[in-house]
Amino acid sequence: MVTMAKKKKITNKETTSHIRTPIVCVLGHVDHGKTSLLDKIRGSSVVDGEAGAITQHIGASIIPIDVITAMSGALQKLAINIPGLLFIDTPGHHAFTTLRSRGGALADMAIVVVDINEGFQPQTHEALQILRNCKTPFVIAANKLDRIHGWKVTENESFLTSYAKQNDRVKQALETRIYEIVGNLSDMDFSSERYDRVNDFARNLAIVPISAITGEGISDLLMVLIGLAQRYMGDSLAMTTDGPGVGTVLEVKEEKGLGTTIDVILYDGVISIGDDIAVATSDGGVTVTKVRSLLQPRPLKEILVEEKFIRARSVTAAAGVKVSAPNLDDVIAGSPVRVIDGDEDEIRDEIQREMKEINVTISPEGLVIRADTIGALEALCSELTSKEIPVMRAEVGPVCRHDVIESETIKNPFYRALIAFNTNILPDAQDLLKNPVYAEQVQLFAGNVIYHVIDEYLEWRDDLKKKMEQKQFEQIIFPARVTVLDGCVFRQNNPAVVGVRVLAGTLRTGVNLIHIDGRKIGKLKAIQHHRESIGECHAGDEVAISIEGATVGRQFDVNDDLMVAIPERHVKVLEKEMISRLSIDAQDVLAEYALLFRKENPFWGK
């Protein structure tokens, strides 16, 4: 079921209410076409300016309702009271949780972009899980339908019109791909169908086939979004037109001629030049500053790359706005923004409470993690928890010296790792990580894509496990049984040198030998095969061995069977942790050896 998210309304004073612009977040796997989709709607080319054609920042774009109705003829016949759509493009699904409204997700709706030819990818699953947790309604944009082999392109046409022009083979290929998406969604307990076959949009997800390049299906996607907002979100979109502004910081950055500015999504009320605003800072505090200037991108323009901003005296929600004010250097992306209209201390307390409302599970032992925002921290913790990786401490802000020192003291070597997601490493922490003592003990994993960082950690952890197991494997004494060959006594003592056949297991130098009745024999000093010294031999091999401290005819004789003496603690490790790494014959010898000692003590080696 698609649950419609509710937004709280400001009630600080008498206000006038009207319908605000719905906020739409665009999510999806890397390179599945999120930014290209918005480019097509805006008629811009933001994607060309991004590194590797992947969005590097969060951005906001207002699409006025007249532009949307011009693209979709069907909407022109409806009475629409929504002023447009405010699209937020994200560099990764973590940014969705960065955009918070009083501890919940800020977006009213979301579009999950899926490459119709590649299907679901890791970030697709992660994005859907986050949307489920936030109870945010969304639609699936099945992108790149123009890449289906044989597809006949009809620029900017509705999906159904383009679909009607395709041959049966292409139609069948499209249907197959759509139902693969339906199946993937069903595996996650979502009911879905192609949008034109959906009867109840509150219970079924709509899948809209589109091409962000040719424009096919874009009008249908906008029509579905407007329809959802119009029908199901009237109450949640009611906002105050003269109440104090409430928003979320998208990004903090330096602007030529303005100094440090904050890009803000204003989701309720009004912000004006001269207003005092409160925002959270990286040191855990709250700063209050006065708005010096407000700048908005032109309609259909991306706030992050806009050059000709419109200066405004005041801005009404919902909108993306650049705020210039003193003392913004330490503001955290994802921080609440509150216009102060009343008790300043109460607003400060409210912001600090919201910044501390981190929805994570903390364990007595686990990783130390850092992220740039609360939402990013929650998303990272959620993914780690889903992979059964515990978190000992999770905080917003850059990695500091204390983080490194604390990680080094963790007893479990698999948790002596720091994860820094989309945040900086302070110089004193960098210096400490270069120190040989800490560099050997603490591993740092830093990046700005959640599943990349976690995959790197898991790869390191698994490699460390293998190395530790191999080291333990090399130190453990393994079971083996040999028989002394008749006519192969080469020296009777000091040391005794005899020929043996290995009956089972792996025989190595340096081990002690016992008779199968439990009598001690001596220490195996060396193994020779064809007069060459070797370190180990295996079942079926015939070799000469020298035994220190034993005499043939006294401790043992020809045709006697001997076993490797295994310490009790080694037996415990072999039986509990390494039994699968032993051959069947070696397992039999181990059982025989353990039984020899358990006759007197049933719990020996357990």
Question: What residue segments make up the domains of the chain, in order of their start?
Answer: 17-239, 246-354, 362-475, 480-598
Question: Residue range 300-328: average pLDDT?
Answer: 76
Is the pTM for the entire model greater than 0.75? Answer: no
pLDDT, tens digit (0-9, with 9 covering 90-100), for 258-313: 889 998 888 888 999 999 999 988 777 899 999 999 988 665 444 444 456 788 89
Q: From residue 280, give the alpha-carbon distance in Å to each of 18, 334, 337, 353, 397.
A: 29, 9, 8, 11, 11
Task: Give residue 371's pLDDT.
Answer: 86
Q: Other C-beta atoms within 10 Å of 290: how many? A: 13
- Find how far residue 591's CA is from the centre of its chain: 45
The CATH superfamily assigned to 246-354 is: Translation factors (2.40.30.10)
Mention every residue, 6+ apart, whose C-beta is less than 8 A from residue 530.
Answer: none
CATH 3.40.50.300 is the classification of domain 362-475: no
Helices (H), 394-492: 401-408, 427-434, 436-441, 450-475
Dihedral over Cα of 114, 116, 118, 119: its sign? positive
Q: Which two three-digit tokens encode residue 274?
A: 């001269």
What distance in Å separates the CA atoms of residue 396 and residue 416, rounded to the nearest whole number?
19
Residue 53 sits at φ, ψ, to 5 deg, of: 60, 25
Q: Which two three-digit tokens encode residue 409?
A: 């003291």
What distance in Å separates the CA atoms of residue 569 and residue 335, rounded to the nearest whole number?
55
Mention every residue, 6+ apart, whose C-beta is less than 8 A from residue 606.
Answer: 572, 575
Hey, which residues does 314 pair with through a beta bridge?
272
Q: Is 531 helix (H, G, I), strand (E, B) or coil?
A: coil
- What kind of architecture, by CATH, is found in domain 17-239? 3-Layer(aba) Sandwich (3.40)
pLDDT, tens digit (0-9, with 9 covering 90-100), for 127-157: 787 788 777 889 999 999 999 999 999 998 9
Q: From residue 367, give the alpha-carbon distance in Å to each of 152, 252, 370, 442.
A: 52, 28, 10, 11
Mention every residue, 6+ apart, whose C-beta is less than 8 A from residue 459.
Answer: none
DSSP-derived pairing of the beta strands 293-296 and 310-312: antiparallel
**End-to-end Cα distance, the chain:** 52
Q: Tell me if 513 sits within 8 A of 565, measured CB to CB.
A: yes
Same fold, 246-354 and 362-475: no
pLDDT, tens digit (0-9, with 9 covering 90-100), for 182-222: 999 999 999 999 999 998 888 899 999 999 999 999 989 98
pLDDT, tens digit (0-9, with 9 covering 90-100), for 9-56: 334 334 444 677 888 888 877 666 777 887 787 764 333 443 333 333
Q: Tell me if 532 sits within 8 A of 500, measured CB to CB.
A: no
Q: Give, for 32, the enclosing helix (H) or strand (E).
A: none
pLDDT, tens digit (0-9, with 9 covering 90-100), for 86-142: 887 654 444 444 454 444 457 788 899 999 999 888 778 877 877 887 778 899 999
Instruction: Please give the torsion angle defined by the CA atoms of residues 293, 294, 298 and 303, in that order, rounded to the nearest 10 degrees.
Output: 100
* pLDDT exceeds 80 at position 356: no
> Which span out of 65-79, 228-242, 441-455 was modeled with the highest average pLDDT?
441-455
What distance in Å separates the CA atoms of residue 61 and residue 12, rounded to the nearest whole number?
29
Q: If you average pLDDT over every residue of the chain, what do you get?
A: 83
Please count the residues of the chain.
606
Q: Is 523 helix (H, G, I), strand (E, B) or coil?
A: strand
Mention every residue, 6+ apart, whose C-beta is less than 8 A from residue 45.
Answer: 39
CATH 3.40.50.720 is the classification of domain 480-598: no
For every residue of 49-85, DSSP letters joined together read: GSGGGS--S-EEEEEEHHHHHHH-GGGGGS-----EE
Hey, which residues does 339 pair with through a beta bridge?
277
For every residue of 509-570, DSSP letters joined together read: TT-EEEETTS-EEEEEEEEEETTEEESEEETT-EEEEEEET--BTTTB-TT-EEEE---HHH
Is the bond leading into 586 cis (omega within 30 degrees of zero)?
Answer: no
What distance in Å separates the CA atoms of residue 157 and residue 161, rounded to the nearest whole number?
7
What distance in Å separates the CA atoms of residue 367 and residue 12, rounded to the nearest whole number?
42
